[in-house]
């Protein structure tokens, strides 16, 4: 079945850039998403990218998609302590509406 | 727009009792709602997909008699954990799609319900 993998932890210093990586196996993925989850809370959509795009930038967030390698990354510029959270990538295929979530990356920002 | 609420946010119950969790789309009509379960420090696992007015579709390994899902209207879905046991303790998150802004496939997530079974 489909599988989405992420590294479990990332620690960066405040002001540095963070890069969170994600790999997926489903070649028919149509949409890829990045969600943020703060402790005890639900998921907040940060950004998404269509599979026919290579890059998407939204303020401090940059998403890069390498469809050939099935690799997705999220870059957070000028990382702040408020960015500390768990970040999930997810993929879905048009018509199924099901999301497959990655394992989540816990980002810790050091002051 | 596109707000999804869940109630209750936290529930503690005794083993053997049943617990109902509500998921509501507040400002849009949700043709499809999803129920996820999240174990501590783990990812979200899709439990079931429900479409308004029809039976839910459960993922493999999810007991449909244990986790009853009702999607009676376009703004409300409920998950009932029947005869709950400590191993059912988890964070349950619902999501909804249909009618809101954003990507065609976008799901909007509720804040989650923390269930603790003693």
Residue B9 has pLDDT above 90, yes or no: yes
What DSSP string describes B31-88? SEEEEEEE-TTS-EEEEEEEETTSPPEEPTT--TTTEEEEEEETTEEEEEE-S--GGG
What pLDDT shows up at residue B33? 93
Phi, psi of B32 (to 5 degrees): -135, 135
Q: Report helix, strand or coil for A73.
A: strand
Q: Please list every residue in chain A whose beta carbon sits closer than 8 Å to the beta carbon of residue B107.
A: 97, 99
Partner-chain contact B106 A45, CB within 8 Å: yes
For residue A13, pLDDT beyond 90: yes
CB-based contact B106 A103, cutoff 8 Å: no
Query: B104: burial class by Cβ within 10 Å (0-12, 13-18, 19+)?
Result: exposed
The pLDDT of residue B104: 57
pLDDT in tens, A27-51: 887 889 999 999 878 889 999 999 8
- The alpha carbon of residue A78 is apart from the nearest alpha carbon of chain B, in Å, by 26
Residue pLDDT, tens place only, A59-104? 999 999 999 999 999 999 999 999 999 999 999 887 667 888 998 9
Query: What average pLDDT does this structure show over B43-47?
Result: 90
Quick check: A13 contacting B, CB < 8 Å?
Answer: no
Q: Read off φ and ψ for residue B87, nearest 5 degrees.
A: -70, -10
The residue of chain A with its CA nearest to that of B31 is: A97
pLDDT digits (tens, 9 = 90+) for B49-74: 998 888 899 999 999 999 999 988 98
Q: Give residue B100's pLDDT.
A: 46
């Amino acid at each position: 079945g489909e599988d989405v993998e992420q590294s479990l932890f990332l620690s960066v210093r405040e002001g540095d850039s963070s890069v969170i990586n994600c790999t997926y196996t489903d070649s028919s993925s149509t949409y890829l998403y990045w969600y943020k989850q703060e402790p005890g809370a639900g998921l907040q959509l940060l950004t998404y990218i269509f599979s026919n795009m290579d890059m998407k930038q939204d303020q401090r967030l940059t998403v890069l998609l390498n469809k050939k390698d099935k690799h997705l990354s999220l870059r957070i510029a000028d990382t702040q302590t408020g960015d500390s959270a768990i970040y999930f990538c997810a993929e879905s295929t048009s018509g199924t509406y099901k999301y497959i979530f990655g394992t989540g990356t816990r980002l810790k920002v050091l002051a | 727009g596109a707000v999804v609420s869940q109630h209750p946010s936290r529930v503690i119950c005794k083993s053997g009792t049943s617990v109902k969790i509500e998921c509501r789309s507040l400002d849009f009509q949700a043709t499809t709602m999803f129920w996820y379960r999240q174990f501590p420090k783990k990812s979200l696992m899709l439990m079931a997909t429900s479409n308004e007015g029809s039976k839910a579709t459960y993922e493999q390994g999810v007991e449909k008699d244990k986790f009853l899902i009702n999607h009676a209207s376009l703004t409300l879905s409920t998950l009932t954990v029947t005869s709950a046991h400590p191993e059912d303790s988890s964070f349950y998150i619902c999501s909804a799609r249909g009618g809101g802004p954003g990507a065609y496939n976008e799901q909007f997530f509720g804040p989650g319900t923390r269930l603790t079974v003693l």
